[in-house]
Amino acid sequence: MSIYKKEYRYAKLTAFYALNLANFNMGTHHHASCEIMYVTTGSCEITVNDQKFILKEKEFIFLDSFIPHKLVVNQQCTILNIEFLVGTDINDFDLEPLKNASVSYQEISLIKPMFIVSNDSRSLGYAIKDLINLMTNANSDTSEITFLTNILFQRMILELFHSLATEKSAKGMRYINKAIAFIQANLEDELSVPKIAEEVGINKSYLHQLFKDYTSYSIGDFISKKRLERACFLLINSNKSITEIAFQAGFNSRQYFSNTFEKNFSMPPRDYRKLHGQTLESSTINGQLRLDDHNNWSLSKMK
């Protein structure tokens, strides 16, 4: 009953609370419902799959269905909690229009995280409070209350995925920056997508998606681009041979380097060097020019 399954378009509230707790320990458990735990004051400890997280004010955790988790409170802490089922059976809330309209939902559904710990990036806390207040204080089940409940639930889901996407974006930039730094530091070595993904700490499918989103390049094209940039620098600023430059830039043969270079710059590396090169020849004056006390350049013979 994962919220990320496209066919699960309907939702139903199954539990909610707003509690101020001082000492509380809810053992490891799981359920079919998705869950949001949001801290408004104080802090609490959440354990998910043996990973411990401390939630503080305006932080929350979202748990997809059937994710084992544990809650421990050791000091004064106010927690808002919402649990809801999603599925194919017609129920209280139809999520289909929201899923189609929310770019944030579509972004998160690409990676399908089992759980995310995040900050409230906009108004999730207010959305949960308003929904719980309505559910707690409504005296009758009128069509007006039903309509308002639907609006507040949809608002909460929108705010949830906005916060999740914001957290995903920040993490995505960290992953991309780490991957780029690794690539640039290892251009001379054999670089593979699994190797880069392992270094960054994410799976290769997610890495591919991040590169597409943030650089508009595939990983292979990005590596080739960086190797060509290094080759151009060496052609202009060094006296190294074309073969040396090819291997130093990470190409496995001079021929492959020359073919790739000409394909991208419409000229062979040697012609590029002639056109742009600024290499310095050895001085013929056999000395060093220094600025003297009279602000004139004078020749000092090298010993």
Q: How confident is the model at residue 302 (pLDDT cuts 50, 70, 90)?
A: low
- Do residue 18 and residue 152 come from a single domain? yes
pLDDT, tens only, 104-148: 898 888 778 888 888 898 999 999 999 999 999 887 778 899 999
Per-residue buried b or exposed e for 40-51, using 16+ beta carbons within 10 Å of the residue's own CB: bebebebebeee
Rounded Cα distance between 134 and 201, Å, is 42
The mean per-residue pLDDT over the stretch 237-252 comes to 92
3-state helix, strand and coil shares in percent for the chain, rounded to the nearest 5: 45, 25, 30
- Do residue 225 and residue 129 come from a single domain? no
Q: What is the pLDDT of residue 50?
A: 82
In a domain, 36, yes or no: yes
Report how far apart the first and last C-alpha atoms of the chain are (Å, whole number). 82
Q: What is the pLDDT of residue 278?
A: 58
> Where is pLDDT greater, at 171 or 32?
32
Rounded Cα distance between 204 and 209, Å, is 9
Rounded Cα distance between 44 and 56, Å, is 7
Q: How confident is the model at residue 216 (pLDDT cuts 50, 70, 90)?
A: confident
Tokens of 240: 């190294």
Q: Which of 140, 167, 194 is the last residue of a domain?
A: 167
Classify residue 281 by its DSSP letter.
P
In a domain, 5, yes or no: no
User: Which CATH number does the domain housing residue 246 bear?
Assistant: 1.10.10.60
**Domain containing residue 211:** 186-280
The mean per-residue pLDDT over the stretch 28-51 comes to 94
Mean pLDDT across the chain: 88
Q: What is the pLDDT of residue 214?
A: 76
Q: What is the pLDDT of residue 182?
A: 93
Tokens of 216: 């508009």
In a domain, 241, yes or no: yes
The mean per-residue pLDDT over the stretch 233-238 comes to 91
Rounded Cα distance between 83 and 69, Å, is 14
Q: What is the pLDDT of residue 32?
A: 95
Q: What is the pLDDT of residue 106?
A: 87
> Phi/psi class of residue 293: alpha, beta or left (left: φ > 0; alpha: ψ in -120 to 50)?
alpha
Is the pLDDT assigned to residue 212 strictly greater than 80?
yes
Q: What is the pLDDT of residue 281?
A: 52
Q: Which of 133, 167, 201 is the last residue of a domain?
A: 167
Q: What is the pLDDT of residue 11?
A: 95
Rounded Cα distance between 77 and 59, Å, is 12
Strand partners, 24: 73
Rounded Cα distance between 70 and 27, Å, is 5
User: Which CATH number does the domain housing residue 15 bear?
Assistant: 2.60.120.10
Query: How would DSSP label each residue in 122-177?
Result: SSHHHHHHHHHHHHHH--S--HHHHHHHHHHHHHHHHHHHHHHHHHHHHHHHHHHH
Q: What is the pLDDT of residue 124?
A: 96
What total of structural domains would you count in the chain? 2
Q: How confident is the model at residue 303 (pLDDT cuts 50, 70, 90)?
A: low
Contacts with 288 (C-beta within 8 Å, 6 or more apart), sequence order: 299, 300, 302
pLDDT, tens only, 252-300: 999 999 999 999 999 999 999 988 865 545 555 566 767 777 767 676 6
Q: What is the pLDDT of residue 58?
A: 93
Rounded Cα distance between 22 and 91, Å, is 36
Query: How would DSSP label each residue in 14-73?
Result: EEEEEEEESSEEEEEE--SSEEEEEEEEE-EEEEETTEEEEE-TTEEEEE-TT--EEEEE
| Residue owning tokens 């000492």 | 23
- Do residue 257 and residue 116 come from a single domain? no
Q: Which of 138, 167, 196 is the last residue of a domain?
A: 167
Q: What is the pLDDT of residue 65?
A: 94
- Do residue 121 and residue 211 come from a single domain? no
- Do residue 153 and residue 214 come from a single domain? no
- Do residue 256 and residue 224 come from a single domain? yes
Rounded Cα distance between 65 and 113, Å, is 11
In a domain, 138, yes or no: yes
Q: How confident is the model at residue 206 (pLDDT cuts 50, 70, 90)?
A: confident
Look at residues 25, 30, 16 and name the one whose alpha carbon lies nearest to residue 44.
Answer: 25
Rounded Cα distance between 286 and 297, Å, is 15
In a domain, 115, yes or no: yes
Alpha-carbon distances of 68 from 30, 78, 260, rounded to whole Å:
5, 22, 51
pLDDT, tens only, 175-199: 888 899 999 999 999 999 999 999 9
> Where is pLDDT greater, at 196 or 49?
196
